[in-house]
Amino acid sequence: MKPTPMQTIPLKQSRTLRIEILRHNPADPDSHPHLQVFEIEEAETMTLFIALTEIRQTQDASLQFDFVCRAGICGSCGMLINGRPGLACRTLTRELPDTIRLAPLPGFELIGDLSVNTGKWMRGMSERLETWVHRENIEAIDIDAVEQRMAPELAEQLYELERCIECGCCIAACGTAQMHEDFVGAAGLNQIARFRLDPRDTRSDADYYELVGDESGVFGCMTLLGCEDYCPKNLPLAVQLAFLRRKMARQGL
């Protein structure tokens, strides 16, 4: 029923949140990993990013965590939220229980507390997989050919795979990536799928096989599917992985 102007709309009962944060500063020799507990009053539409900012402003200015955009675009606020990878800025506290345990994403260099160096990992992967458009003979580039129009359907397919924000959630959610540090993960294989589709890239399937036709690439993936389950951008990772595996298996024959 629509409220009259005199009626008040009851707010959802507010909660005191118990936020347990795994803290450690690897740059400090006296620091040891430990859980620190904070309590804050939940506010309507509070995200984990807002909760962490409030803790840093009112309780502990030394708390480290990353953010830039606060809108699920930059990929810097990934962390383990009650054991599952996710973005702090896109997670509402009301979707979580009263006790929330936060830890840094595993599989990346720890900077401190909830801050990890996903940028270093992504750059290493990018350099290794050469994630840029290759032209077979750079001197012979025909600018008109490079600028040729692309069919809208193909452009859309490329765009779909380019939505990756390099947050690292797929790496943190992947058992293979946790066991083998040279595994390029779903983020890397998604890049390969993207460049294979691009008609401007003149690399052949044999070239791609050289890059990812082994245990650190497509054949390291054990179809655990944590990557697809926890990708905050809902990228079609499982489909890409299966497609690449089929293609690479044929190359290896």
Interacting residues toward ligand FES by CB under 6 A:
67-70, 72-77, 87, 89
> How many whole angstroms separate alpha carbon 64 and alpha carbon 14?
26
Residue span binding ligand F3S (CB under 6 A) among the ranges 84-92, 101-109, 173-181, 191-199: 173-181
Q: Is 212 in the site for ligand F3S (CB under 6 A)?
A: no
CA atoms within 13 A on the CB side of 43: 9
Q: Is 240 in the site for ligand F3S (CB under 6 A)?
A: no
In the block, residue with structure tokens 């190359």: 251
Number of shown-chain residues binding ligand F3S (CB under 6 A): 13
| Rounded least distance, CB 221 to ligand SF4, Å | 13
Q: Is 227 in the site for ligand F3S (CB under 6 A)?
A: yes
Q: Is 166 in the site for ligand SF4 (CB under 6 A)?
A: yes
Query: Nearer to ligand SF4 by C-beta: 87 or 110?
Result: 87
| Rounded least distance, CB 41 to ligand F3S, Å | 37
Residue span binding ligand F3S (CB under 6 A) among the ranges 90-98, 123-131, 209-217, 219-227: 219-227
Residue whose C-alpha is closest to residue 51's, from 116, 117, 114, 118: 114
Interactions with ligand F3S, residue window 37-56 (CB under 6 A): none
Contacts with ligand SF4, 181-200, as mask; x by CB under 6 A: -----xx--x----------
| Rounded least distance, CB 112 to ligand F3S, Å | 27
| Rounded least distance, CB 78 to ligand SF4, Å | 7
Residue whose C-alpha is closest to residue 171's, from 101, 240, 86, 106: 106
Structure token digits, residue 18: 């118990």
| Rounded least distance, CB 234 to ligand SF4, Å | 8
Query: Nearer to ligand FES by C-beta: 67 or 243?
Result: 67
| Rounded least distance, CB 190 to ligand SF4, Å | 5
Chosen residue from 135, 200, 233, 247 binding ligand SF4 by CB under 6 A? 233
Three-class secondary structure assignment of the chain: CCCCCCCCCCCCCCCEEEEEEEECCCCCCCCCCEEEEEEEECCCCCEHHHHHHHHHHHCCCCCCCCCCCCCCCCCCCEEEECCEEEEHHHCEHHHCCCEEEEECCCCCCEEECCEECHHHHHHHHHHHHCCCCCCCCHHHCCHHHHCCCCCHHHHHHHHHHCCCCCCCHHHHCCHHHHHCCCCCHHHHHHHHHHHHHCCCCCCCHHHHHHHHCCCCCHHHCCCCCHHHHHCCCCCCHHHHHHHHHHHHHHHHC
Residues that bind ligand F3S (CB under 6 A): 173-174, 176, 185-186, 221-227, 241
Residues that bind ligand SF4 (CB under 6 A): 164-170, 186-187, 190, 231, 233, 235, 237
